[in-house]
Structure 1
Amino acid sequence: MSDHRTIAPGASHEEFWDERYETSERIWSGEPNTVLVRETTGLPPGRALDLGCGEGADAVWLAERGWQVTATDISRVALGRAARHAREAGVADRVDCQWHDLTVTFPTGGFDLVSAHFLHAPTQSFPRERILRPAAAAVVPGGTLLIVGHAGHHEPTDLRLPTTEEVLASLELAEGEWEVLLSEEHERHQTDRDGRQITRTDNALKVRRLPV
């Protein structure tokens, strides 16, 4: 999840995201993130964890390919839409939608894939590292952690966002237990709210916990 609005003084992250989703019947495209598709195609399906699942496009795409997905978000509005998307796609039995404020609670269990796409918030105080470290800890041996985010600066607050090298360092992974499979910046083309074609720079980090 990500957004270019700012959090009103005194508002919680949950209130911000619920209000954001309530502004429209659909916020995102309904299609899975392209990096998720590219980097997980060919992986044997198992248990997946989708952090900040939004309206559920990634979770549904994975479930359609045999994954058992735990989909989490801080917005109950978004989770309701994700659950509906899963029902409409016929994979409700493979998508478990769970509400979590990931700075406070985290899904239990181990996962073959943990995916965090655009897990940002428009405030410098958002403790992204405190979420991504438990995310790495939840990956089982042989499993994969995929983190995709915006690069550069986040408008309008001009937050500086970390490079993949900085994200990797912040995970504090145990030496000799992980391998880096992907660390890159890439351009993404999209249409903004005014119908203009724009190019954004994102980055992607994919690491694998080595089998025991």
Structure 2
Amino acid sequence: MTDASVPSPAQQYWDGFYQDQDQGQDQGPARAVRPNPLLVREVGSLAPGTALDLGCGEGGDAIWLAGQGWRVTAVDVSATVLRRAAARALDAGVADSIRWERHDLPQSFPAGLFDLVSAQFLHSPVAAEGEREKILRGAADAVAPGGVLLVISHAGWPSWLEHPPFEYHFPTTREVLASLDLPAHRWHVEVEDLVDRELTGPGGQSGRRQDSVLRVRRTR
């Protein structure tokens, strides 16, 4: 697991976010985490190869990918959550298939090309203007010929949230594609979808949330 010496504002925010989750919880064996079901839907039919998981969080997607035979590089800005995810991978028996790296993605990016580059819910209240677009352009650059870029995003706040905690623009798939500016002779859009899901809120509320799915293949 790579590291850096000076914490960035993003690392400080997300380390605090995940440390707050630990407060008052049993610090026993790491609980299992589930992969994003939309990632499972989009990746389940792909032949395993190398995968880059950007903003891996607690490791649910990376652990699932490794269990399917992928060799995964999993990246997050929070050293706290990377340690937690690595412990879960060890418990799941896939630790040897995952490399954990800490990157503040607007400042540093994993090296190499990958058969799958996955950016799941890459939203941050502390991101500067244009940072998300910069990260996704780096994600596209990291896709190997024949590989897939998968961007899954929230399309809005959940229905039970009457007063959002901060102002945020959730980009559409059209906006993501426009910001990527992918050459048409090298890329093919395979999936562009808006999914409406039933969800239960943290207080047991019943509600819904929409997510957008963009899957693009680099043809050469």
Q: Please give the TM-score of this superposition, normalised by the length of structure 1.
A: 0.89
Residues 33-182 of structure 1 mapped to structure 2, 5 A cutoff: 33-123=36-126, 125-126=128-129, 127-152=131-156, 155-182=164-191
How far off is 1:175 after superposition?
Answer: 2.4
Q: Once structures 1 and 2 are overlaid, which stretch shifts more, 40-49 or 120-129?
A: 120-129
Matched, 1:186 2:195: yes
The corresponding residue for 1:197 is: 206
Counterparts of 2:79 and 2:108 in 1: how far apart (Å)? 15
Tell me the secondary structure at the aligned position of residue 106 of structure 2. coil
Look up the SS of the partner of 2:16 in the other structure. Answer: helix
Residue 20 of structure 1: which of 17, 23, 26 is its match? 17
Residue deviations 1:23-59 (CA, integer Å, cap 9, x gap): 1238x97110011100001211100000000010000
Gaps of 5+ in 1: 1-10
- Contact residue 123 and residue 157 of structure 1 kept, 8 A: no
- Per-residue CA deviation, residues 164-199 of structure 1 (Å, 9 max, x unaligned), is 010011112122100001111111222222111221
Deviation at residue 123 of structure 1 after TM alignment: 4.4
- SS of 2:21's partner is coil
Contact kept, 8 Å, 2:153 with 2:213, in 1: the verdict is: yes
Answer yes or no: is the 8 Å Cα contact 1:79–1:97 preserved in 2: yes
Counterpart of 1:4 in structure 2 is: none
- Please identify runs of 4+ aligned residues in structure 1 that moved more than 4 A: none
State the alpha-carbon separation in 1 of the partners of residues 119 and 97 from structure 2.
19
Q: What is the distance in 2 between the residues matched to 1:185 and 1:158?
A: 21
In structure 2, stretches of 5+ residues that fail to align are 1-7, 26-30, 159-163
What amino acid does structure 2 have at the position aligned with 1:191?
Answer: T
Aligned length: 200
Correspondence 1:209 to 2:213: no
Aligned-residue offset at 1:158 = 2.5
TM score, norm. by length of structure 2 = 0.86
Question: What is aligned with 2:3?
Answer: none
- Percent identical pairs in the alignment equals 49
Contact kept? 1:142, 1:208, Cα under 8 Å = yes
Read off the aligned partner of 1:86 and give its amino acid letter.
Answer: A
Q: Which amino acid aligns with 2:202?
A: R
| Mapped partners of 1:188, 1:98: distance in 2 | 31
User: What is the SS of the residue equivalent to 2:165?
Assistant: coil
Give the aligned CA root-mean-square deviation in angstroms: 1.8
